[in-house]
Amino acid sequence: MHDPRMVREQADALRDGMRRRGKLDALGPLIDRAEALDRDRRTAIQAVEERKAARNAASQQVARLKKAGESADDVVASTRVLGEEIARLEQELGAAQNELDAILLELPNLPLPEVPEGDESHNTVVRSWGEPRAAESVKPHWEVGESLRLIDLAAGAKISGSGFIVYRGMGARLQRALMNFMLDLHTGEHGYDERWVPLFVNRDAMVGTGQLPKFEEDMYALRDDALFAIPTAEVPLTNVMHDELIDGAQLPIALTAWSACFRREAGAAGKDTRGLLRVHQFDKVELVRFTAPEDSAAQLELLTGHAERVLQLLGLPYRVLLLAAGDTGFSSAKTYDLEVFAPGVGKWLEVSSCSNFGEFQARRANIRYRPAKGEKPRFVHTLNGSALAFPRVVAAILEHYQQPDGTVLVPDVLRPLLGTDVLR
RNA sequence: GGACAGGUGGCCGAGUGGUUGAAGGCACCGGUCUCGAAAACCGGCGUACCGGCAACGGUAUCGUGAGUUCGAAUCUCACCCUGUCCGCCA
């Protein structure tokens, strides 16, 4: 969410941000409406508060009169009228305020200046690591995965539906291995504090990180409780600080957690859906950082490096993309995607998305810090990144490390955890 | 799920209808004292919004939301959360 004052003082900056995202046509009218609502709202506030001040004064007069043993009937009668006016004006004010709040929750974050304008065709590769393997004669991961009995797509479809995976044998153990490898790396070498979080969260948490209200149809919701299945551990991990006032000396705060992630992928049917490429439930290790505003730019580079380190240790070739404004997520001000090369499907697969949210989430979730004793609280900046999402990493391993005989070499760092050098 | 007891400022904690934004304490900031520090003493110290160049004024805020009332931290209702006991259960 933006500072509500932006509507009044920097509406053009808002419009420019929407334009750079390619959303001005859709969102420009909302900004116009917000400007009008802000004016209405302030007029109503003044009218209401004027009457409330009068009522408060009258009430005190009643108190004095009664204490003195005199009649207060005249004052009481006149104040009753004020009360009715206040009720009416407050209703008007509430309506304007609610509509304005709803608009503010629907406006995406402003991209940082260095973010390229335009849609995803303007994403830029900022660096790459490793040599992509030639695609010829490498089988796609779903073929190897099935033939080595690592994944069972049919079983997943039978018990839940397409897009739900059953891992079996070493495939199942690989999930545990990835979880331990990534969490140990981030807690042991990168200084993250580990959490184990709820997989279902309330509406407040989902609004806090920006999934709601705009993307409700993408979320799984429970029928009988006001809870949503998390699409990423970003939600619980960021919201552990919801409504907190952090001592500035504690920043930056770095948290990590494994979680299952649930995505309805409504409207994505048929697009990259084979095998492990796009599924409704998957596992992921997430990194979240809370920082002072002046540090967030550097912290994004640091966090992205932590995610890259996972791929480097796994020996998987990847590239880093700076997303263009139009491809940058709703809450994010700047995002790097990490894409790993999967020679079997011949594609770069997104395995991580590392973002700086500025104060956008902190404002929604009310996460503040006190820079120093005696100073006023400010909103923190939040950042997060996957490090990493499992299914596409598995896909890349099954393809990149595939041998001519159909077996798959295990990356060195996973061998102790899997208890084998080769998947056969 | 049931029965009780609670949710007050950064923290602890008083306060059951009328100058209560809210006693007191801790923490914090400034000062006196001191060579310096501690202690002691004096003073200050929430947040948000509206108006104002500012000084400042106003409004709101005692879990959340409704309600009663001229007036609510205080009364009523609903909901959320916490604690204790009981029940159930992996």
Find which nucleotide's C1' atom is closest to A82's CA: B70
| Fold classified for A120-423 | BirA Bifunctional Protein; domain 2 (3.30.930)
Q: Which nucleotide lies at the shortest CA–C1' distance from A86?
A: B59
Question: Mean pLDDT, to the nearest integer, of A127-154?
Answer: 94
**Tell me, in Å, how far CA of A105 is from C1' of B64?**
20
| Separation of alpha carbons A16 and A8, rounded Å | 15
Contacts of A126 (CB under 8 A, 6+ apart): A320, A321, A322, A336
The answer to whether A55 CB sits below 7 Å from nucleic acid chain B is: yes
d(C-alpha A262, C-alpha A188), whole Å = 28
Quote the CA–CA distance of A192 and A254 in Å, as a whole number: 5
Token pair for A153: 């797509």
- Rounded distance, CA A65 to CA A78, Å? 15
Nearest C-alpha neighbor of A394 from the set A130, A53, A151: A151
**Which of the 153-182 residues on chain A come under 7 Å of nucleic strand B at their beta carbon?**
none
pLDDT digit string, tens, across residues A317-372: 999 999 999 999 999 999 999 999 999 999 999 999 999 999 999 999 999 888 88
C1' of B50 to CA of A48 (Å) = 10
For chain A, what are the domain ranges?
5-106, 120-423
Q: CA of A69 and C1' of B70: distance in angstroms?
A: 16
pLDDT in tens, A285-303: 999 999 999 999 999 999 9
Q: Does the pLDDT value for residue A374 go beyond 90?
A: no
Which pTM does this prediction carry? 0.93
Q: What pLDDT is recorded for position A269?
A: 59
- Taken as a whole, chain A contains a residue count of 424
Contact A40, A24 (CB under 8 A): no
In terms of CATH architecture, what is A5-106? Orthogonal Bundle (1.10)
DSSP annotation string for A207-222: HHHT-TTTTGGGS-B-
Confidence of residue A76 (pLDDT cuts 50, 70, 90): confident
How many whole angstroms separate alpha carbon A147 and alpha carbon A380? 49
What value does the mean pLDDT of chain A take?
93
Find the Å distance, CA of residue A246 to C1' of nucleotide B7.
22
Average pLDDT over residues A388-402: 97
